[in-house]
Amino acid sequence: MASAIYVTLVPLGENTIDLSARQLERAKNWEQVSITLSVDAPFHLVYTVQYIQIAALPFRRSPIGKLRSAAVTGAGAAPESTSRSHTMRRFSQEWKASTSPRPAIWADVPDEQLNDWKWQLSHRLNSLDELQQLINLTPEEITGISAEDKFRLDITPYFASLIDPDDPLCPIRQQMIPKGRELAAFTSMMEDSLAEDAHSPVPGLVHRYPDRVLMLVTTQCASYCRYCTRSRIVGDATATFGPKDFDAQIDYIKRTPQVRDVLLSGGDPLTLSPRLLDRLLTRLRQIPHVEIVRIGSRVPVFMPQRIDKQFTDMIQKHHPLWLNIHVNHHREITPELAAACERMSNAGIPLGNQSVLLAGVNDSVHIQRRLVQELVQMRVRPYYLYQCDLVEGAGHFRTTVNKGIEIIEGLRGHTSGFAVPQFIIDAPGGGGKVPVGPNYVLAQSPGHVVIRNFEGYITTYAEPLDYDPAAIRHLEQEIQRRPEPGQGGISELLEGHQLSIKPDGFDDTHLRGREEEHRLSSDMHKWQPYGVGDEVALPEAKPKQKSPVNSEKG
């Protein structure tokens, strides 16, 4: 282990304390202190020893006030913020220009190579030997890494350098390093839990919602998340998409005018060569009814080096283009990621973040609050917090749904509104995204809505008793109604276009075996609600047979 690099802390008038480089790397709480350095050959000083951890080290109880507060000797100015601080960070330009600590195994790699995304891709870690050089693996991790049928394992050197080598509970480590338990089956587990392939008119194109499609352009990622929703294809180079698939996908979009929004995903679209991505975006942009293009990518997180000038120059030709990154824990937010986000924002790309609620990684109100507050500092708007899907390999990451609701409870009102993501269950079986959250409406009556706020304050909103929802009609007529067919949903019920939504097989069940209409069941008009929906031509009702008694009375 690379523990031959020693940093000597010199508290004023106290004993000298030696710290190994490993301990430094594990640092979670930094302070600016006076230090002297002594480096034991043959290791280079690869840890940027500008800041020294105080709280989590063995001398935790030593009075910090006795450590001289001063600039660090020979290591440049201390930044305003660091990646492991327990306190909220403010991201200065100086910090964004700095770099994350570099583990000893890459000590001799020139900076230009480390900062080259192609080098990052070609030097990913995926074997037990490589990972053991960097991380003190647990027996369960060794089992997971050694499993033959595991989901693909690859980690960029940059992202691997953020892993705490001595802490199996490190949130980055848990997302990246397989564990034996990930192979365990669990109830309701599925290979394709969102039924994406069932909603796919052509390979790699998922048309689930009325006006938008998901276009899978690759199965490759820069690194692989253990909980991946698309692990059925992701990582498998033989299952990836090629020119024929792109033609079929684009042809479908061209002949489906209701598609106004195309989301490129995969795998990770940013692992495609810049020329190929450029070509795909150009083809999409040539389709008149495609209004916006979105990209979902974790490349800025795994390999921020990829967000270079060539990329931003290319991407900004294709506006309006939106991009969602995927950060789950604030330790993924580094100077490199912050600088990459800045480059994208400066290229006019609105940035959002999708995170997944993961047990033991980010299932905490406080961790989520810090995450979202740091995201908005990077001009990244928290967009979705997903409940972990029922997908193979993700069993041990799943939380209860009420943990997610508790997190939203702890965010809404407690931090800026635009920093609060929507908590989403992606409905198993292909039901699409369902927002879930705390209930703020406690009771309703005509004229009153009783609501509560985040503090528990309960109040009443008095509704107008003379509100006329029809007064907007003349302006509404200027707006085109949703042109695409189907999927009206609850909105159709509220607008009065439909009376009910029936589950599959509802009518058959309620026929109760009836094979022919009887005298009371044949007149369909009796179930036609007045003023609801379009007039439907119904079969003429058979004339009722009048009984002699009735006719006499009538």
Q: Is 426 a catalytic residue?
A: yes
Catalytic residue among 150, 230, 294, 369: 230
Identity of the residue, 234 or 272, whose beta carbon is nearer to ligand SF4 in the bound complex: 234
* Both tokens assigned to 57: 């080290």
* 212 belongs to the catalytic site: yes
Our answer to whether residue 221 is catalytic in this structure is yes
Who's near 552: CB < 8 A, 6+ residues apart? none
Minimal distance, residue 102 CB to ligand SF4, in Å: 23
Rounded-to-10 torsion of CA 46, 48, 49, 52: -120
Could you give the 3-state DSSP secondary structure of residue 308? coil
Cβ-based nearer residue to ligand SF4, 7 or 358:
358
| DSSP-assigned beta bridge partners for residue 125 | 155
Residue with Cβ nearer ligand SF4 (101 or 267) = 267
d(CA 157, CA 116): 11
Please name which of 217, 109, 86 lies closest in space to residue 156, comparing C-alpha atoms: 109
The residue among 207 and 230 lying less far from ligand SF4, judged by its C-beta, is: 230
Distance, CA of 45 to chain centre: 36
Q: Which of 151, 155, 48 is nearest to 99 (CA)?
A: 48
Residues facing 36 on adjacent strands: 8
Which chain residues interact with ligand SF4 by CB under 6 A?
Answer: 221, 224-225, 228, 230, 234, 266-268, 298
> At closest approach, how far in Å is the CB of 103 from ligand SF4?
22
Nearer to ligand SF4, 79 or 300 (CB): 300
Give CA 344 to chain center in angstroms.
18
Q: Is 546 a catalytic residue?
A: no
Query: Which C-beta is closer to ligand SF4: that of 56 or that of 195?
Result: 195
Q: Is residue 230 flagged as an active site residue?
A: yes
State the catalytic residue, choosing from 221, 224, 331, 370: 221
In terms of C-beta density within 10 A (0-12 exposed, 13-18 middle, 19 or more buried), how is residue 109 classed?
middle
Shortest distance, position 450 Cβ to ligand SF4, whole Å: 41
Please state the length of the chain: 554
Active-site position among 164, 268, 363, 389: 389
Min dist CB 302 to ligand SF4, Å, is: 7
Q: Which of 22, 179, 208, 369 is labelled catalytic?
A: 208
Compare residues 280 and 391 and give the one whose CB is closer to ligand SF4: 391
Measured distance CA(412)–CA(378) in Å, rounded: 20
Nearest Cα to Cα of residue 174 among 209, 135, 213: 135
Position 147, amino acid: A
| Helix (H), strand (E) at residue 473 | helix 473-476
Active-site residue, 433 included: yes
Neighbours of 125 (CB within 10 A): 24
> In this structure, are residues 352 and 325 in contact, taking their beta carbons and an 8 Å threshold?
yes
Nearest of 341, 479, 359, 350 to residue 418 by alpha carbon: 350
Least distance between ligand SF4 and beta carbon 215 (Å): 14
Among the options 6, 209, 383, 440, which is catalytic?
A: 209
The phi, psi pair for 442, rounded to 5°, reads -95, -35
Residue 267 or 352: which CB sits closer to ligand SF4?
267
The verdict on whether 225 is a catalytic residue reads yes
**At its nearest, how many Å lie between ligand SF4 and the CB of residue 282?**
24
Intra-chain end-to-end CA distance of the chain, in Å: 102
- Residue 183 beta carbon to ligand SF4: minimum distance, rounded to whole angstroms: 17
- CB proximity list for 203: less than 8 A, separation 6 or greater: 241, 245, 248, 249
Token duo for residue 412: 């809404």
For the question of residue 252 being annotated catalytic, the response is no
CB of 267 to ligand SF4, least distance (A): 6
Task: List, by residue number, the catalytic residues.
Answer: 208-209, 212, 221, 225, 228, 230, 389, 426, 433
